[in-house]
Amino acid sequence: MMHCDPDHIGDAFSLLSAQAVRDRAHRLLALGLRDELPHFRVNLSRLDATADAVLAEMRKNYPMGEIPFHSRWRHFMVNGRDRWAAIAEKVHWFNPAARARAEFDLAVVSVLLDAGAGSRWRYLDRISGLSIGRSEGLAMASLNLFAKGLFSAKPNDPLRVDAEALLRLTVADLEDGFQVTSDNPLVGIKGRTELLRRLGGLLASRPEIFAKSDTARPGGLFDHLVLLSQDGTIAGTKILAELLRQFGPIWPSRITLSGVPLGDCWCHPALSTNDATSELMPLHKLSQWMTYSLIEPLQRAGFKVDHIDGLTGLAEYRNGGLLIDCGVLSLCDASDLKLEHRVSSILVVEWRALTVALLDRVADLMRQRLDRDVTSLPLVKILEGGTWSAGRSIAFDRRPDGSPPLRVISDGTVF
């Protein structure tokens, strides 16, 4: 953990933004294009083939061209059925805000539980009878736990998440809900439990943010964002900035600057600056995934969300794996493919940052090929259409278990 002078608090908050992620990621890409990075080489001649793969996936997944946002809500679809909508439509919501608060509750907890499952874990969905792995399995497990009221402190109101319930959550609760056994291990189950418990403590400690209209709950953030909106409009980048500021203390002890927790932010020696942020590379993957997942509840409640493309691509192993598997990125030392790497390692930080910058390049190519602009085909739709599923498809083509090309040691709170 890094502690710096309180005078640098402005520097700290400058890293809590999508623009900081994008700017610094492109700085590392510029170094990579000059072959000045320690771990990766960049081959832009392979971008066209990558765009071909993404376009083929997009046309397969969305043949009519109607691509939704890349968000947690997509993972609640099973066999073409929207399982959250099926639950929500049976509820008599007092008003649109009541539903939005419940959807914020669900999205926040489900995203925080969505940090990689490992290749062995599966979730048996008793409604569809399907055995579902990875992110989709984590989504269904979290939705079912939410629907059963595990996160609620009110027995007569299961569709909510309360600070009180999170604070008493145990590892055994999640192991049971996620069907974890010795034969069905889930990566980082302890880390996920601790993260949700810290969330509970944070919610309880900030009633001015999270308990404006109810007891302390993640859905209180909806009311907070409503107050920040102007004429019924709020920027996607503003949502992220608020998430990073409000939820920052829940993340495991990593880097802090002037007492400000920087969350998914790591060190890379090539990012030298003349201020206190030198060598720091913010990525904010889960927070941006959460931001994308809060847009639709806001829209359903009647709000307009703009500047969505100010957010970045997600620095995770499907997007990053796509770039390695398609040959855009290659390791300087091929033996690193055989090793396990910590999330904090310079190699993984470099990989994730290059992923963010190169996704912008892929998006530009996609728009050129489809004769679309940023408004009609924002990055969030290209991710969904898209790079994430193309990365997964190619991973399963190349490796029987669908694992990423790089092996990363995670605590269940990053990937």
- What does each of the 415 residues of the chain score in pLDDT, given as a tens digit? 444 444 678 999 999 999 999 999 999 999 999 999 999 999 999 999 999 999 999 999 999 889 999 999 999 999 889 999 999 999 999 999 999 999 999 999 999 998 777 778 999 999 899 999 888 999 999 999 999 999 999 999 999 999 999 999 999 999 999 999 999 998 888 988 999 999 999 999 999 999 999 999 999 999 999 999 999 999 999 999 999 999 988 987 789 998 899 999 999 999 999 999 999 999 999 899 999 999 999 999 999 999 999 999 999 999 999 999 999 999 999 999 999 999 999 999 999 999 999 999 999 999 999 999 999 999 999 999 999 999 999 999 999 988 899 999 876 677 5
State how many domains the chain has. Answer: 1
DSSP 250: G
Scan for tokens 């829209």, then name that residue: 299
Are 395 and 404 within 8 A, CB to CB?
A: yes
**Helices 220-228 and 285-300, packing angle to 10 deg:** 80
CA atoms of 273 and 86, how far apart (whole Å) = 51
DSSP bridge pairs for 281: 266
pLDDT of residue 1: 44
Nearest to 293 by CA among 369, 371, 240: 240
Chain Cα centroid distance, residue 120 = 21
pLDDT of residue 411: 65
Q: Is residue 414 part of a domain?
A: no
Q: Residue 139: CB partners within 8 Å, gap ≥ 6?
A: 72, 75, 76, 110, 114
**Helices 285-300 and 96-112, packing angle to 10 deg:** 160
The SS3 of residue 339 is: coil
CA atoms of 248 and 381, how far apart (whole Å) = 27
CB burial of 151-171 (b: ≥16 within 10 Å; e: otherwise) equals bbbeeeeebbbbbbbbbebee
Q: Is residue 258 part of a domain?
A: yes
Q: Residue 402: CB partners within 8 Å, gap ≥ 6?
A: 119, 134, 392, 395, 396
Can you give the pTM of this predicted structure? 0.93
Residue 72 belongs to domain spanning:
6-409
Q: Is residue 87 part of a domain?
A: yes
Scan for tokens 């002037």, then name that residue: 258
Phi first, then psi: what are they for 317, rounded to 5°? -75, -20
Q: Is residue 415 part of a domain?
A: no
CA atoms of 323 and 89, how far apart (whole Å) = 40
Nearest to 99 by CA among 272, 234, 222, 194: 222
Nearest to 23 by CA among 360, 351, 333: 360
Q: Is residue 119 part of a domain?
A: yes
User: Residue 139 corresponds to which tokens in the numbers above?
Assistant: 């989504």
CA atoms of 11 and 354, how far apart (whole Å) = 23
DSSP bridge pairs for 181: 184
Nearest to 151 by CA among 119, 192, 95, 91: 192
Q: Is residue 252 part of a domain?
A: yes
Are 191 and 415 within 8 A, CB to CB?
A: no
Chain Cα centroid distance, residue 332 = 28
pLDDT of residue 267: 97
Are 245 and 270 within 8 A, CB to CB?
A: no
Q: Is residue 12 part of a domain?
A: yes
CA atoms of 199 and 204, how far apart (whole Å) = 9
